[in-house]
Amino acid sequence: MGAHVDVSGSQRLDGAAKQRPTMADVAAKAGVSRALVSIVFRDQPGASRETRERVLRVADEIGYRPDSAARLLARGRSRTLGVVLSVHQTFQADLVDSIYPEAERLGYDVLLSAHAPGRAEGKVVEALLSHRCEALILLGPGADPGYLDELGRRTVAVSVGRHLPGVHVDSVHTAEAKGVRQAIDHLVELGHRRIAHVDGGRGPGSAERRRAYRAAMRRHGLAEEIRVIPGAHTEEAGIDSGRLLVAEAERSGRAVLPTAVLAGNDRCAMGLLITFARAGVEVPAEVSVVGYDDSHLSHLMPIGLTTVRQDAVLMAEYAVRFAVERLENAELVPREAVLDPKLVVRGSSGVARAG
Amino acid sequence: MGAHVDVSGSQRLDGAAKQRPTMADVAAKAGVSRALVSIVFRDQPGASRETRERVLRVADEIGYRPDSAARLLARGRSRTLGVVLSVHQTFQADLVDSIYPEAERLGYDVLLSAHAPGRAEGKVVEALLSHRCEALILLGPGADPGYLDELGRRTVAVSVGRHLPGVHVDSVHTAEAKGVRQAIDHLVELGHRRIAHVDGGRGPGSAERRRAYRAAMRRHGLAEEIRVIPGAHTEEAGIDSGRLLVAEAERSGRAVLPTAVLAGNDRCAMGLLITFARAGVEVPAEVSVVGYDDSHLSHLMPIGLTTVRQDAVLMAEYAVRFAVERLENAELVPREAVLDPKLVVRGSSGVARAG
DNA sequence: GCGCTCTACTAGCGCGCGCTAGTGCGAGTA
DNA sequence: TACTCGCACTAGCGCGCGCTAGTAGAGCGC
């Protein structure tokens, strides 16, 4: 894959370094003191109407914009929230969409930082903290509780989607047990008994969902049918699990296939659907598939994904509010918001096949 | 959707505000001057081995971490790159993954900011600039060229995935025409003639791809068959276009269906696959579908998506390097890197159906 | 005239750090 | 002894801004 690099268009730059204008520049040009410019930009009383306008006009002319580094250094507060996410998690993207407006409403700025392969959560957190984020919103944090506890004591931190009992962070998550129970109830009503669960490994909420799955199965007298397939919150994991199941069916006959699979999240469910489609296993005629999250993808999937809905908007609002309230009242203690999930039935679940 | 908010766990905080420790604190505790602590943390010569270790140990003990706000204020440079992205574009997520390591290699920090509904690109850019990002990497910028030109003159900006002739920004994109031509050649070889194109609307690269599609069709003597369906770079757009085509086929018979569709990008192709699957239109037996990007999803799709691969790693590397080189040599003029795309044939394209 | 208040504005310190220009001090020459 | 030289370390200014404590001047009552 070659590349041709082309020096096209534009002329060379004016040799001078592009010096960013400062308040002093504005003040000089407007013929006032720097302090007055500061007053104008902070929208505080103490400047006449005309001076205010003149200052703003001059600032605009010379392209001045406030330097938030200096600003926050001076006032000691950055009013900035740091969000740690994985760019590939679609549900987290949904969360981010809703974090911005709520933060803005409360007068806070938002910076994102992603963990990627080779970029562990700890590094991401350090990056945000060193940029003076006052609080961290961790979307599906994967780090170990000990670290998170320490982090939560050092700064204000909110965990979204992962319940961390005894850890000194705010937490916003859904009542996983309820969601899973709804899903299993739904499947049982449709006549399913052999219901497998592809779990989310160490992903956020996975432990709770796994536990809830086992409990729900037992509650229906299906303890014998419990089967947890180790997975992850990725399409790949769904594909792998799907292949595993298909391979078993090919060896020992389709009767061994579970009649339903509860995936760890929507991405994993997607992977299952993909594999089943490839293998000619019909969903939901032969196997029902249920996801978790209701990320914006789930209603797009070929047959519509039956899934447990987590309300991204509400979760984002709680997360931001928890962070801001803790910042503005240091007396507060970490809190926990547990939201009710809701099963959304679409096309990927149907009555159990015979056998 | 109710929520129960719970004040659980932990004790109330130590009333005192969590004062962030500073260099002075470290210096005092280590019994040296602040300047020496600075030297140690900048890893500069001028401190003995043992002092260095002692300072670092003390810093760790009291939980000191450098304040990048103050740091960049003092040194005048932030060594921070700002990345503007849309969290929902999977290909951009791929790019982000590769931007981090390259930036780190060159000693730069990265901050992300996303445009979301109600958060226009201009605001996102201002946010990053006010956080003292020295350069901006715009992933698939949608703003108008005039604005981008002005932006590019005010600061260092790199556009990724969108070609902006005459605009004062660096640019990294693929040779769209080549990619589209490969795709069309491939389809024509398979016997397709009625090849439609669902375009990407105002999305990055769309105009070029649209133009290239028309040119390639004409080159094959298929001018009569040219059909551009207005779309966007989203699953929704693919779904809508798919519905449109299916509806036509239902009205006027399947013969009117194009035998192949070139989508604006992978997400759009995904939408098409979804709709075709729902409508019982078999891919590739009845319709071939070709995507664009080769985002990490495309090899996951039910049948594997034939798509035009853009090398995310290489694009990210060019973007970062362009930005950094312009920063470190103000004499440089914006450049352009045009990468070769490559058709990846998977299961979604096959020989044209008869008729 | 005096004191008072109110508005419009300014002087200048400090935020946490980078960095230049030093200072002191022991080892190595002449 | 005097004199570099180099190492380990320090003093102190300045980055761009917020913010407190002012000042100057106009208006007003007595």
Q: With 70 as the cut, is the pLDDT of residue B11 above it?
A: no
- Reported as a pLDDT band with limits 50, 70 and 90, residue A7 is very low
Min CA distance, B223 vs chain A (Å)?
30
Domain B176-310: give its CATH superfamily. Response regulator (3.40.50.2300)
- Mean pLDDT (whole number) for A18-30: 89
For residue A51, give how far its alpha carbon lies from the nearest alpha carbon of chain B (Å). Answer: 24
CA dist A270 → A293, A300, B167, B294 (Å) = 12, 10, 41, 18
Position A329 scores a pLDDT of: 84
B43 Cβ contact partners less than 8 Å away, ≥ 6 residues apart: none
pLDDT at A13 over 70: no
How do residues B38-54 score in pLDDT, each as one tens digit? 999 999 999 999 999 99
pLDDT tens per residue, range A45-76: 999 999 999 999 999 999 998 988 898 889 88
In this structure, are strands B3-6 and A336-339 parallel, antiparallel, or unpaired? antiparallel
CATH architecture of B78-174+312-339: 3-Layer(aba) Sandwich (3.40)
Nearest CA in chain A to B155: A18
- Whether the CB of A123 is less than 7 Å away from nucleic strand D comes out as no
Nearest CA distance, A223 vs chain B (angstrom): 30
What mean pLDDT comes out for the span B151-174? 94
Phi-psi region of A349 (alpha: psi -120 to 50; beta: other; left: phi over 0): beta
- Non-local (6+) Cβ contacts of A49 within 8 A are none
* pLDDT (average), residues A19-36: 93
For residue A2, what pLDDT is reported? Answer: 44
Chain A interface includes B302 (CB < 8 A): yes
Instruction: Please give the residue of chain A at the shortest CA–CA distance from B126.
Output: A65
pLDDT band at B299 (very low <50, low <70, confident <90, very high): confident
Model confidence over A203-249: pLDDT tens digits?
A: 999 999 999 999 999 999 999 999 999 999 999 999 999 999 999 99
Residues 75-94 of A with CB under 7 A from strand D: 75
Task: Give the homologous superfamily in CATH for domain B23-66.
Answer: lambda repressor-like DNA-binding domains (1.10.260.40)
Per-residue pLDDT of A241-292, as tens digits, reads 999 999 999 999 999 999 999 999 999 999 999 899 889 899 999 999 999 9
- Cα–Cα dist B210/B220, whole Å: 16
Helices (H), A76-175: 90-105, 121-130, 145-154
β-partners of residue A336 are A171, B6
pLDDT of residue A38: 95
Helix or strand run (H / E) with residue B85: strand B80-85
Cβ-defined contact of B154 to A18 (cutoff 8 Å): yes
CB B55 within 8 A of CB B294: no
* Cβ-nearest to A126 among B65, B166, B311: B65
pLDDT top residue among A175 and B8? A175
Percent of chain A with pLDDT strictly greater than 70? 94
The verdict on a CB contact (< 8 Å) between B110 and A113 is: yes
Q: Quick one: how far is CA A171 from the chain centroid?
A: 13
- Per-residue pLDDT band for B14 (boundaries 50, 70, 90) equals very low
- Spell out which residues of chain A touch residue B8, defining contact as CB-CB under 8 Å: 165, 334-336
Q: Is the CB of A23 under 7 A from strand D?
A: yes
Q: How far is CA A108 from CA A81, A243, B334, in A?
A: 7, 46, 34
Q: Is the pLDDT of residue B243 over 50?
A: yes
Q: Do domains A23-66 and A176-310 have the same CATH topology?
A: no
pLDDT in the model for residue A355: 63
Domain A75-173+312-338 fold is Rossmann fold (3.40.50)
Q: What percent of chain B has pLDDT over 70?
A: 94
Q: Is B328 exposed, middle or buried (0-12, 13-18, 19+ CB in 10 A)?
A: exposed
- Give B119's contacts in chain A (Cβ within 8 Å): 100-101
Residue type, B97: D
Over chain A, what is the mean pLDDT?
91
Nearest to A300 among B80, B97, B239 (CB): B239
Domain boundaries, chain A: 23-66, 75-173+312-338, 176-310
The residue behind tokens 């696959």 is B273
Alpha carbons within 13 angstroms on the beta-carbon side of residue A254 total: 13
Residue A146 or residue A12, greater confidence:
A146
Question: Any chain B CB within 8 A of the CB of A286?
Answer: no
Name the minimum distance, in Å, from the CA of A59 to any CA of chain B: 15
Distance B200 CA to C9 C1' (A): 55
pLDDT at B1: 44
Which amino acid would we find at residue A108? Y
CB contact under 8 A, A333 and B10: yes
